[in-house]
Structure 1
Amino acid sequence: MNIDKEEFQRQYLDKVAKLHGKPLEETSDGERYQALSSLIRDYIGQRWLLSRRRQRQGKQVYYLSIEFLLGRLTDMYLINLGLRDTVAAAFFDLGVDLAAILESEEDPGLGNGGLGRLAACYLDSMAAESLPGHGCGLRYRYGFFEQDFVNGRQIEVPDDWLKTGFIYEFRRSDEAVEIRFGGTVTPELNGKLRYRHENYESVLAVPYDVPVVGHLNDTVNTLRLWSAEPHRTDFVCSATNRNDCLKTIEYKNDVEAITSVLYPDDSTRDGRVLRLKQHYFLTSASLQAILADLARRDIPLTRLSDHVAVHINDTHPALAVPELMRLLIDEHGMGWDEAWSLTVATISYTNHTIMPEALETWPVDLFQALLPRIFVIVNEINERFCRELWQRYPGDWDHIRAMAVIADGTIRMAHLAIAGSHSVNGVAQLHTRILKERVMSDFHQFYPDKFNNKTNGVTHRRFLIKANPQLAALLGETVGEQWVQYPCDLLGLLPHAADPAFQDKLAAIRRWHKSKLAAQILDATGVRIDPDSIFDTHVKRIHGYKRQTLNAFHIMHLYNRLKADPGMDLTPRTFIFGGKAAPAYRLAKLTIRFINALADKINRDKTINDKIKVVFLENYNVSLLEKLLPATDVSEQIPTASREACGTGNMKFIMNGSVIIGTLDGGNIEIRNAVGEDNIITFGLTADEVLNIYERGGYNPWDIYCGDERVKTVLDQLVNGFLPGGPDEYRPIFDSFLHHGDHFLVLKDFAAYVDAQKELERRYRDRRHWLSMSVRNIAHSGKFSGDRTFTEYAVDIWRLRPEAPVRCYCSADEDFARAEGGCTLSRRPALQATLSNATYN
């Protein structure tokens, strides 16, 4: 935007006066934030309108996801509008602390983990690439939860993120649609088979639109969030009949519960019903709005797939398949074959997991009662699909049963998504290979052309430019400002990898961030940490396959060595944890308690001379991650190989120069291939080795316990009173390894992990070598930009041509880049010349 400092100051002071009726010096940081965000909303509004008009006749992409973990928006809006420096200078002159104002903003409670953050990154990338792509999600009244620690235990507190409103949402009451649950369906034959739906519960889906601003362009896309509101008006509170009031209250509460909270507890039938309601509510509301928009654009439904692409992010929105069929058949009079052809051509699906327990299924009885018409359609899809399978595999009932959408009283949502879409993609090369060869091998053989890979990417605008502006400025000085638009230009750092002057600048930036983070940790936890220690960060959802216990066991091992030899030569280490455990996941919650107890014991022990410190930071979210990224030396990416589809934390950390210690899983493999084996530290079982253990057995954790004294010691310390809380508190963790099979192979990888940690310390002690590794990680991180990923989605899957030139393919597939006219090394002679004498790895 073209606005100078003085004009912004004038507009801002005017906004403060209009909103609060008092001078700037009398306002709080919260009031100053309200004025700033209101002014930004004004700036965006006109651009949004023009962008929507410009996109009306083009193909539109709709990205359906149960989560969108946005992070704070104000600073990102300023960056993408090109106003960040102007506003910072204006506030400095006004004597106002911009950082304090930005801290007043709540993180929107619309997601929890990697699935939601990936969706948010992709919205950012679509807008940055001028792709007309929009998100469709749910407007949760409360986020997943706020995490507090009481005596080291996780306590869940409601995340009331909307308590002061959400300035960037625009309510569109005139575009509300009706959603129907329950009731009965009756077939009617009037030339064509139709169904009458009666006695259903009616719910109103009201859209709230949030602008998604492209970086320094004129594109403003939309994230549409649906809120559930009562639709019936025939319930009244009668002064003479108390039951009327109770019915009204019950109906209102049931409706509002649909969008009350992300991931209701599904350990009960009521919780399962509520989750299924959420999934159908999202898909039905979104598809009704999409078809209504098509009608407003005077585009016939027969050309649906030419003008609309619907992408389902994991199986939560897989009901888009039968719901689109319902709308085309029941509401628009199409026959089955035509509707099916359009549905498959319109819908595409991203799979995010290979773990059987995470491949969503629904009991037929629950599904049929809640969604009777949708069940009829799903059943018909299954019948027709099984007839196709019979044609290919006559008489092979076991094969057909294994692939059926409905079998053994269960509806399999991944099977429905595959059958009802034209594209199925994994999110990393290894993940896609496992899908094709193992988990979905039958489907890959049946639909070989549907399966493809799209390795995840992340937005460098948020996780580098916003999180680490000092590093972003250094990169601009070194390789030119074009790296922001063309992240592959970061390869121009390679000639500087061994340059002491550049290394010292990078080290100074990290040291500054480490000091700042140390002060914040002291304020939050009371634990004093050394900014010159190795900051080793493990921040993820707490889960068995993420293996926070492996990290904790190594810390216990180091502590045991220090207790035995206080003079041991050990580079001081600060281990930083963050992450939430699902409220019903008892072992994960106990893992948090265990790590906090270990931290308390170690941090209080003066005999080890502060060589190890451990902190577990409360309420991990996007804003906390942005503080950790620029201060982290080592990023822990240690899942059980084959369990992590891709991971994106690894990409965010290498963008900031962290070095990964990790297993050969998901995105770690592709990062290793990019940065070189010398610039990442890997260990442990491979994915194939893990899968072979799962399939064939042969692993006994007692063998490790009895054969490795280090393992025996740390496991015994769980149950011998070594930790605060007593000997029985952590027995479920002990039992999970020895009596329940060590499912995620923590003990199996322990020795290799200890050796990898020794190698990490050895490399860290060679300061120049470590800084060279850091530079090379940054240099190769452009490959993992979400801009690259989503242009691949656009061209490969949605057949959508970007309005602007393709920004970055030089570090992705060269053949693909050339075919699409993208930015390859050969097409960028200046960069090619810079790299001609550089060593890639």
Structure 2
Amino acid sequence: MRSQTDLERVLTARGVNLDTCSDRELMYALTAAVRQLQKPMDHARGQRKLYYFSAEFLVGRLLRANLINLGLLEEAERLLAAHGRSLAQVEDQEPEPSLGNGGLGRLAACFLDSIASLGLNGDGVGLNYHYGLFRQRLDTGRQTEEPDPWIGPESWLLDTGLSYQVDFGGFSLNARQYDLEIPGYENGVCNRLHLFDVERPAPPPAEGIRFDKTDIAGHLTAFLYPDDSDEAGRLLRVYQQYFMVSAGAQLLLRELEEAGHSLLELDRYAVVHINDTHPSMVIPELLRLLTSRGVELEQAMDLVERTCTYTNHTILSEALEKWPASYLEQVAPQLLPFIRALDQRARRRSDDPRTAIWDEHNVIHMAHMDIHSSAKVNGVAELHTEILKNTELHPFYVLYPEKFNNKTNGITFRRWLMSCNPALAGLITQAIGPEWQRDAGLLEKLLEHKEDTALLERLLAVKEENKGALARWLGSRGTEIDPHSVLDIQIKRLHQYKRQQMNALYAIWKYVQIKEGHTPPRPVTMVFGAKAAPAYTLAKDTIHLLLCLGKLIERDPQVSPWLKLVMVENYNVSAAERLVPACDISEQISLASKEASGTGNMKLMANGAVTLGTLDGANVEIARLVGEGNIYLFGRSADEVIALYRDNAYRSSDYWQKPELERLVDFILSPELLTIGDAGCLSRLYKDFIAKDYFMALLDLEDYIAVKERCLAEYEDRAAWSRKMLVNIARSGFFSSDRTIMEYNRDIWHLTPDGA
């Protein structure tokens, strides 16, 4: 690797005075220096190239991550320390790229890191959102949304000077290509994330995130997932998706032709990965482009089916996109003949109407198109894949059993342990050596230290240090917490199936218990971090309930010494990097069968948190790896939940009318909360609990409370708890995104000659 003077040499050449420049000036200087040092690095090579299409790439701040992968982190920290500067303070000035929102985008970012670190020939393809989902404000007692700008005059974006014409119904736009460089971990490789943008973006909205959704030319790349509560918003999403896939497909074919390859060898030299259904239109777009260049339609469909692969991330109907044909007639009418041809091809293979691409209601099913027209289809956790095969996508599995496979998600330990928790990473290296930094599976060596009292005590001390750091960070944002309390953390997108509202009912139960004199052995701090989609009313109502409960608890002198409820404003990657190392109890409480995988569970586990959760998604695999004594499980099984839905057998009234649950639900409309909160928001939540409760929070509530109380009690045996922590860290190595990507390459992409 480079000598340790390279970074200083580049900074000196740029005229940076480390003693006098501001933290912001130093951040920009370091960004430019790292970009300069990345310039000579080579893109990974290989006969077949991956184009990973995704609506989201939640990359987080890049300065520290890139310094780690370049092997320059220690040099940077020493250099800054010699001038009385702190890298942590400098990187706090870095804006976080607003290119994603939740697990889908964070997974895609981890995958790009692993693809580069494994030296695989692959790039990402997405959109260059200017304002992300939104910047969340909570100071009014409810969520409000503002733009989240991140693109400044100096950023990590590289303007390639390339653009591609994208033709819509009645007008065209140029898609300008910007790149983010993705360096591999100490291997000299630097791949790319290609981001497409309109050439003349409109100025930011004058008020909140409201803008003219019909102004496609100006606002197409403004926001991730524009509000789809009206037709203009839904159409804008279709415009976004076609803009991304058309530009990306043109980029692919340009690179194929520049390399001297025939279009008829598309599948030999390229693989197009469709990450969830947002990029599905790449399939008919490739057909359109190939046939426009002289390839026969049937031959083009064969080529595309051998080239494309598809990951399904959910069984939720809202995320299995279906678009009225009239929308595509308006946005990209040139695609309709090709989608019709794909549907006819599908009907020749199966007469089951459940597998149609274009249904009798003139609706186009994107997931159906992906499955018919891809070489491989995968789920993202063992349970999720089995549900897809046996229930949700069973007719397709019968038709294409050879296409279906599982690829359990993973995270990059470079970001989610080495970077965000250097104290724990250092302790692990002292115990088992540094090799785990390249092969996370070697963390299992920690199991040899289960009875090492000194190591276990140090493990607890590191956790306390991280809790103290989190307390200081929250304090700087105006929220005080007790760093010696139990940190019970639920951080993920706000959605009813993730059941933050069940956790809120536990907070009510705990509040009542303390009021009745049943104090816990030590204080409990409940921390939430989540954004709710702007049009998702019940999710925003849940945030309001949590904020009201936080105020109620804080104002009660009998309860506040023992219980705290915190909602972290504008939860993002940077906030997660502070919360994850400090967490004691990892809340993974989704309704069994509804969470495809989760990756927060993996990050928290790797940092020594113990999971409290349902047997859902990757929790099933976590439970198997760590063993019954090192995880806290509750709730009905996926099979039981599926049966309840199938038989329409769940009645929320069977549960909320139980006296012990009724008082918790009724508390939502209690005078105590109504004096703090909005009656309309709280009434909607209350009515949903008693009339619907679609994701069955009340079904598992009693079991949840009992298991959570047992978890809190057992936390007090600090020696036993430290062993649980160690087992979780040791077993977390399976969930490395490097492992996941090696499996994708071996079974799906075959980017190297031997598919290794």
**TM range, normalised to the smaller chain?**
over 0.9
Which of 147, 150, 165 is the equivalent residue of 1:161?
A: 150
Q: Does 1:720 align with 2:680?
A: no
Aligned equivalent of 2:576: 625
Deviation digits for residues 709-763 of structure 1, max 9, x if unmatched? 2311111111132212265540100111112x21011001001101111220232
Q: Provide the C-alpha distance between the structure 1 equivalents of 2:681 and 2:217, rounded to a whole number of angstroms.
A: 40
Q: CA deviation at 1:112?
A: 0.5
Q: Where do 5+ consecutive residues of structure 1 fail to align?
A: 18-22, 183-199, 232-249, 391-398, 807-819, 821-841
Aligned equivalent of 1:534: 486
Aligned equivalent of 1:756: 707
Q: CA deviation at 1:141?
A: 1.6
Aligned equivalent of 1:659: 610
Aligned equivalent of 1:614: 565
Q: Match of 1:642, SS? A: coil
Q: CA deviation at 1:571?
A: 2.5
Deviation digits for residues 173-213 of structure 1, max 9, x if unmatched? 2x21110000xxxxxxxxxxxxxxxxx31110110011100
Which of 24, 28, 32 is the equivalent residue of 1:34?
A: 28
Q: Provide the C-alpha distance between the structure 2 equivalents of 1:294 and 1:648, rounded to a whole number of angstroms.
A: 34
**Change in 2 beyond 3 A, CA 1:668/1:252:** closer
Q: Match of 1:267, SS? A: coil
Q: CA deviation at 1:95?
A: 1.5
Q: Match of 1:72, SS? A: coil
Q: Provide the C-alpha distance between the structure 2 equivalents of 1:735 and 1:16, rounded to a whole number of angstroms.
A: 64
**Change in 2 beyond 3 A, CA 1:784/1:802:** farther
Residues 644, 650 of structure 2: 8 Å contact kept: yes
The 5 A counterparts of 1:577-592 are 577-592=528-543
Aligned equivalent of 2:174: 204
**Change in 2 beyond 3 A, CA 1:401/1:697:** closer
Aligned equivalent of 1:357: 318
Q: CA deviation at 1:498?
A: 2.6
The 5 A counterparts of 1:4-153 are 4-5=4-5, 8-17=7-16, 23-47=17-41, 51-52=42-43, 55=45, 58-153=47-142
Residues 70, 183 of structure 2: 8 Å contact kept: yes
Q: Letter of the 1:452 partner, please give it.
A: N
Aligned length in residues: 745
Q: Match of 2:558, SS? A: helix
Q: Does 1:694 align with 2:649?
A: no
Q: Does 1:770 align with 2:731?
A: no
Which of 262, 269, 276 is the equivalent residue of 1:307?
A: 269
Q: CA deviation at 1:370?
A: 1.8
Q: CA deviation at 1:11?
A: 3.1
Which TM-score applies when normalising by structure 1?
A: 0.86
Residues 181, 201 of structure 1: 8 Å contact kept: yes
Q: Does 1:784 align with 2:746?
A: no
Q: CA deviation at 1:515?
A: 0.8
Q: Provide the C-alpha distance between the structure 2 equivalents of 1:27 and 1:264, rounded to a whole number of angstroms.
A: 39
Aligned equivalent of 1:319: 281
Residues 521, 713 of structure 2: 8 Å contact kept: no
Q: Provide the C-alpha distance between the structure 2 equivalents of 1:66 and 1:779, rounded to a whole number of angstroms.
A: 33
Which of 209, 214, 219 is the equivalent residue of 1:257?
A: 219
Q: Letter of the 1:46 partner, please give it.
A: P
Q: CA deviation at 1:253?
A: 4.6
**Change in 2 beyond 3 A, CA 1:802/1:31:** farther
Q: Provide the C-alpha distance between the structure 2 equivalents of 1:370 and 1:679, rounded to a whole number of angstroms.
A: 52
Q: Provide the C-alpha distance between the structure 2 equivalents of 1:414 and 1:35, rounded to a whole number of angstroms.
A: 45
Aligned equivalent of 1:443: 396
Q: Letter of the 1:344 partner, please give it.
A: E
Q: Does 1:797 align with 2:748?
A: yes
Q: CA deviation at 1:609?
A: 5.6
The 5 A counterparts of 1:630-641 are 630-641=581-592
Aligned equivalent of 2:229: 267
Q: Provide the C-alpha distance between the structure 2 equivalents of 1:430 and 1:24, rounded to a whole number of angstroms.
A: 53
Q: Where do 5+ consecutive residues of structure 2 fail to align?
A: 202-211
Q: CA deviation at 1:367?
A: 1.4
Q: Letter of the 2:172 partner, please give it.
A: S
Aligned equivalent of 1:366: 327
**Change in 2 beyond 3 A, CA 1:632/1:201:** same
Aligned equivalent of 1:394: none
Q: Provide the C-alpha distance between the structure 2 equivalents of 1:457 and 1:500, rounded to a whole number of angstroms.
A: 30
The 5 A counterparts of 1:390-405 are 390=351, 399-400=352-353, 403-405=356-358
Q: Provide the C-alpha distance between the structure 2 equivalents of 1:251 and 1:349, rounded to a whole number of angstroms.
A: 29
Q: Provide the C-alpha distance between the structure 2 equivalents of 1:345 and 1:728, rounded to a whole number of angstroms.
A: 53
Aligned equivalent of 2:385: 432
Aligned equivalent of 2:654: 703
Aligned equivalent of 2:251: 289
**Change in 2 beyond 3 A, CA 1:696/1:87:** same
Q: Letter of the 2:296 partner, please give it.
A: G
Aligned equivalent of 2:207: none
Q: Match of 1:625, SS? A: helix
Q: Letter of the 2:438 partner, please give it.
A: Q
Q: Provide the C-alpha distance between the structure 1 equivalents of 2:654 and 2:495, rounded to a whole number of angstroms.
A: 24
**Change in 2 beyond 3 A, CA 1:82/1:802:** farther
Q: Provide the C-alpha distance between the structure 1 equivalents of 2:266 and 2:702, rounded to a whole number of angstroms.
A: 56
Q: Does 1:555 align with 2:507?
A: yes
Identity %: 40
Q: Match of 1:406, SS? A: coil
Residues 81, 215 of structure 1: 8 Å contact kept: yes
**Change in 2 beyond 3 A, CA 1:436/1:166:** farther
Which of 672, 677, 687 is the equivalent residue of 1:735?
A: 687
Q: CA deviation at 1:423?
A: 0.5
Which of 135, 138, 160 is the equivalent residue of 1:172?
A: 160
**Change in 2 beyond 3 A, CA 1:402/1:338:** closer
Aligned equivalent of 2:190: 220
Q: CA deviation at 1:166?
A: 4.8
Bigger radius of gyration, 1 or 2?
1
Q: Letter of the 1:733 partner, please give it.
A: L
Q: Which stretch of the first structure deviates more once superposed, 400-409 or 465-474?
A: 400-409
Q: CA deviation at 1:169?
A: 1.5
Q: Match of 2:383, SS? A: helix
Q: Letter of the 2:12 partner, please give it.
A: L
Deviation digits for residues 564-583 of structure 1, max 9, x if unmatched? 115x3433111111110111
Q: Match of 1:730, SS? A: helix
Q: CA deviation at 1:379?
A: 1.0
Q: Which stretch of the first structure deviates more once superposed, 304-313 or 57-66?
A: 57-66
Residues 403, 443 of structure 1: 8 Å contact kept: no
Residues 546, 638 of structure 1: 8 Å contact kept: yes
Q: CA deviation at 1:385?
A: 1.6
Residues 129, 802 of structure 1: 8 Å contact kept: no
Q: Match of 1:26, SS? A: coil
- Coordinate RMSD, CA, aligned: 1.8
**Change in 2 beyond 3 A, CA 1:263/1:664:** same
Which TM-score applies when normalising by structure 2?
A: 0.96
